[in-house]
Structure 1
């Protein structure tokens, strides 16, 4: 059930004006004021949208938001990878894969604890457990797959989606704030933050210093945007072709399912094709000025959209206990991620992005890396996070089948 809002879901231009305008305001505040720079433009974008949605000024669902997920995010990814060195990315991906898998253990531990605490008070909890395990290792694709596999009732699906959106938004805020806290800076290595701070003027706003004005031409804009559209079109077409060609599903060999997950996934294909293009034509892509700026602006629009569905009235109206269930999962994931990350000497940035990739998926993790200026980790976390889509279906299925016996 949708709540009434002043701006209606089909007020397309007004909603686009809000998304694009609030993203611009968030960037302006981040670069103008020190408090906003420390808080980050991502949080300003997200919280602003969350408040407007909860005060029923903007709708919690709209085709406009779907457009951002479908078109804006895919276009942002290649733009942000034009400066990526594939060999450096390979080195970083190995480390991130290990901490991502350790963080996945946190997701599984969280769902087991939450299930046995709440199985007597939430009906059909084994189905919710399957969906959330898939989602909190992979992403929305896995959530939908588990909902279909276990034939979850529509009401349960919608209630779980709302709880998931709210927790994801809150956890996103927590993860963005963690690098600003001295406690975590003292306890963990922070090489990417240290490098960023050493390359910026200490008397200047960090965000403003990092995003300094640079020369850009019409040719740069044309090459950046045109190349991004072409790479997305080719990648998604190829992924769709392989998805139809390679069999997948419950009764199909595990090898084919994994193969389909690798070659039939839009975002994995997009990341791979972009990195190959940049490697084969380094001079062309590395000399395009403004690609990172355009891509980052598009990601800020995505930040605004993340905050929109986090509706407290819908949670309280539909299923407050599901919110408790999801909160336990997120808390345990965080606890395991940071504990094992510390034990195995991972950096704070790697732990944060791995946990984010589990809970929010590769796009939110990449967005966080961009917002904090950890540009060397954008490509690796996209690769590692999209591999979570493959693992998610198996983990979700195993949990759902196990829990259905109780």
Structure 2
């Protein structure tokens, strides 16, 4: 078994690399125009992918789990401190429609891929169930479908590898689309226009102008971090408690359990309620956006780590083809109907991202692009995907079996 230069249990060095590379990605984005066009998020992701594929850092480590388990939940409330729930519900309606259309694209892609490849990939109907659940919901749906259809462990591992690589590549595609003249010409893009209207000096990039120096005090940092920790702690305990109240002995109650005990949905809801009804407190805290965004950059780095190109070539090239068919079909359907129904380019991108990557990757992209008004709506519709993902996954698995 091949090992990396830095071992998986070398915690401090891995944390130093992750935080250092995230910081360097932000520096490049704010210093150079070419990096600003690529975006710091993509630099962070691609750099981590190269480090893991060159076996400098491991593809799996408890450090990465800590970022998923602690850093991402803390980033969410920090980035929602100035969110007004009344505006969110008004803005989420449109995004929900295009998200559901995008889900149909995922199912169509799963079907097309199955018809083309089922003679070459064993148990493809089971993989279709897993990937449909994952590409409408997320990792929890992937695991649930793998368990429901009793998918062999080796097949699950191969699918995970294909999924990780493709998600990273598609994230790269989606985050570069706003800079492409073709898409700017064909779609409305008010959020992009708003960011680009910010006055930029000759030696600045859009990123450095947007994230310019702001007045901030020790009290602001203390209140930002302490409030975020409190929200996550309360949400985690509520999630556990609600999970024990709602039974899971049938599909309906199990779905209700997943909905109401979902930690991310509770974090989002509590933060939005606080930001709406205690707006004076939340709006006066400075620096929460900056702290939350840096935490999300750590997440960008971790996204790229598991995408092992060698494992794809060795174990799952056909699975990569299948997942590519699903993602490309999702993209065609989402952008096609988005254009037909006159959705904004940013809404279309967010809907497709929330399907394929889940609410965290979609929110992360909105943050990196400065589309702040879309952060909370995409978290809401993306979290809904966790619920409907199991339904669609079970439907696809049974239809194609």
1:162-173 aligned at under 5 Å gives the runs 162-173=161-172
Where structure 2 has 5 or more consecutive residues not aligned to the other structure, the ranges are none
Q: Secondary structure at the match of 2:248?
A: coil
Contact 1:107 1:333 (8 Å CA) reproduced: yes
Contact 2:221 2:287 (8 Å CA) reproduced: yes
> Equivalents in 2 of 1:4, 1:65: separation in Å?
17
Q: Does 1:99 align with 2:77?
A: no
Q: Does 1:329 align with 2:329?
A: no
> Equivalents in 1 of 2:75, 2:67: separation in Å?
10
Q: Does 1:77 align with 2:52?
A: no
**Structure 2 vs 1, CA of residues 200 and 243 (structure 1 numbering), >3 Å: closer, same or farther?**
farther
Contact 2:8 2:62 (8 Å CA) reproduced: yes
Residues 207-253 of structure 1: CA distance to partner in whole angstroms, max 9, x if unpaired? 0000010011110011000000000010111112111211225x34x
Give 1:200 deviation, angstroms.
3.1
Question: How many residues are paired up?
Answer: 400
Poorly superposed stretches of 4+, deviation over 6 Å: none
> Equivalents in 2 of 1:45, 1:65: separation in Å?
14
Give 1:3 deviation, angstroms.
4.0
Moved more, 202-211 or 151-160: 202-211
Contact 2:198 2:206 (8 Å CA) reproduced: no
> Equivalents in 1 of 2:244, 2:167: separation in Å?
32
Residues 282-341 of structure 1: CA distance to partner in whole angstroms, max 9, x if unpaired? 111111000000000000000000000111101111111111110100000001000000
| Structure 2 counterpart of 1:305 | 302
Computed over aligned residues only, the root mean square deviation of the Cα atoms, in angstroms, reads: 1.0
Moved more, 2-11 or 97-106: 2-11
> Equivalents in 1 of 2:144, 2:244: separation in Å?
16
Give 1:278 deviation, angstroms.
1.1
> Equivalents in 1 of 2:206, 2:316: separation in Å?
41
Q: Secondary structure at the match of 2:214?
A: coil
| Structure 1 counterpart of 2:245 | 245
Q: Does 1:14 align with 2:10?
A: no
Residues 126-167 of structure 1: CA distance to partner in whole angstroms, max 9, x if unpaired? 111110000000000100100111111111111000000000
Q: Secondary structure at the match of 1:213?
A: coil
1:174-213 aligned at under 5 Å gives the runs 174-201=173-200, 203=202, 204-213=204-213
> Equivalents in 1 of 2:380, 2:243: separation in Å?
18
Residues 22-55 of structure 1: CA distance to partner in whole angstroms, max 9, x if unpaired? 0000000000111111110000000000111111
Give 1:202 deviation, angstroms.
6.1
> Equivalents in 2 of 1:52, 1:3: separation in Å?
15
Contact 2:51 2:57 (8 Å CA) reproduced: yes
